Amino acid sequence: MISTPDIDRAVAVLRGGGLVAFPTETVYGLGGDAANEEALKKIFAAKGRPHDHPLIVHIAEAAELAHWAREIPPSTHTLARRFWPGPLTLVLKRASGVSELVTGGQDSIAVRAPSHPVARALLARFGGGIAAPSANRYGRVSATTAEHVRQEFGASVDLVLDGGAAEVGIESTIVDLSGAEPAVLRPGMITQAMLEEALGRALGARSSGSPRAPGTHTRHYAPQTPLMVMEVDLVLELASSLVRQGKRVAVLARSARAPLLAGITWIAAPPDAAGYAHDLYANLRRLDAAGCDAILAEAPPEAPEWAAIRDRLMRASAGAAPPEAT
């Protein structure tokens, strides 16, 4: 349980330019004072993240938007009223005076009001914006528990607030509202259909004029063990064949039962999208820690509520190849 003294200590760390890892409903964030360039530099250094990858500024409520963004379109308020506090990040034109370190040199800024009670208490008491990327080393699997954060960063974080396992489990949906057409830059558990329903219009496609959202294209969210995503029949076939070659295989299954084969580490993921997302990063960490030669994941369904999960698995598996026969 987090107590008021814990929050007070965290606020003192933030005011002193230090880093506080804190729970949000999506994943844990590695937070620093968004108005303090020294703190922002520490975030990039701790993560090993390139400076052109902008950070999300977390705020307590929509009333603070004007401090960070300019020319705020009405759709912002529609979406904020409907989904904040919650797992939705809005990209807007940045206000003058916002550090380039936050925006990665772009003219836009990403802002989100998280719903986790610890994040809300921290933001309310701090009284300013907290810049926070996901609390993982660059490119790696995001952290959904305080223990995962400690595994990622050790002593380079001044304080870790433990708020239990993150409820949503994967990062927020990012919507760009800085251009002519709203567009989804990163899918999340707030789906395109939910956004369209709230806005009463179809969302545009992401265009060449959309702000860059670095980290949404390339290999990301990746375990160290090569991860491959395939249909269930292929999972079973390849797992057996690799085991016969003396390899150790980890499987993230959804529908099939574990075959009676030694040398397979098997996790049966929840059958529904919300449950699957909740467990996804913890499951990838467990399978990664099993020290296998490959992780085989059963492909998620094509249904819209699985879009964000397909996106994360695709990036986590980008560029991985099956282990060679020896």
Which positions touch ligand TXA (CB under 6 A)?
24, 26-27, 29, 53-56, 89, 91, 103, 106, 108-110, 112, 114, 132-134, 171-172, 174, 185-186, 211, 213-216
In the bound state with ligand TXA, the residue whose beta carbon lies nearer, of 109 and 249, is 109
Q: How far is the CB of 248 from ligand TXA (least distance, A)?
A: 30
Q: How does 295-312 read in b/e, with b if 16+ C-beta sit within 10 Å?
A: bbbbbbeeeebbbbbbbb
**Interacting stretch for Mg ion, rule CB under 5 A, among 5-13, 49-57, 132-140, 224-232?**
132-140
Residue 85 interacting entry, from Mg ion, ligand TXA, none, C-beta within 5 to 8 Å by type:
none
Q: Does 115 bind Mg ion (CB under 5 A)?
A: no
Q: How far is the CB of 317 from ligand TXA (least distance, A)?
A: 18
Residue 69 interacting entry, from ligand TXA, Mg ion, none, C-beta within 5 to 8 Å by type:
none
Say whether 269 sits in a helix, a strand or coil.
Answer: coil
In the bound state with Mg ion, the residue whose beta carbon lies nearer, of 36 and 134, is 134
In the bound state with ligand TXA, the residue whose beta carbon lies nearer, of 172 and 238, is 172
DSSP 8-state class, residue 158: S
In the bound state with ligand TXA, the residue whose beta carbon lies nearer, of 28 and 306, is 28
**Closest-CB residue for Mg ion?**
134
Q: How far is the CB of 56 from ligand TXA (least distance, A)?
A: 5
Say if CB 170 and CB 312 are below 8 A apart. Answer: yes
Give the integer Cα–Cα distance in Å for 56 and 325. Answer: 43
Helices assigned H by DSSP within the chain: 4-15, 37-47, 65-68, 74-83, 100-103, 117-126, 146-153, 192-199, 232-244, 273-289, 307-317
What are the angstrom distances between the C-alpha of 273 and each of 70, 229, 233, 297, 316? 36, 16, 21, 15, 17
DSSP of 81-145: HHH-SSSEEEEEEEPTT--HHHHTT-SEEEEE----HHHHHHHHHH-S-EE--BSSSTTBPPP-S
Residue 253 interacting entry, from Mg ion, ligand TXA, none, C-beta within 5 to 8 Å by type:
none
Q: Which of 89, 134, 145, 191 binds Mg ion (CB under 5 A)?
A: 134
In the bound state with ligand TXA, the residue whose beta carbon lies nearer, of 134 and 317, is 134
**Interacting stretch for Mg ion, rule CB under 5 A, among 50-58, 90-98, 134-142, 253-261?**
134-142
Q: Facing residues of 252 across strands?
A: 267, 297
Q: How far is the CB of 133 from ligand TXA (least distance, A)?
A: 3
In the bound state with ligand TXA, the residue whose beta carbon lies nearer, of 24 and 191, is 24
In the bound state with ligand TXA, the residue whose beta carbon lies nearer, of 108 and 317, is 108
What are the angstrom distances between the C-alpha of 46 and each of 90, 105, 210? 25, 20, 28
Say if CB 281 and CB 169 are below 8 A apart. Answer: yes
Q: Which residues bind Mg ion (CB under 5 A)?
A: 134
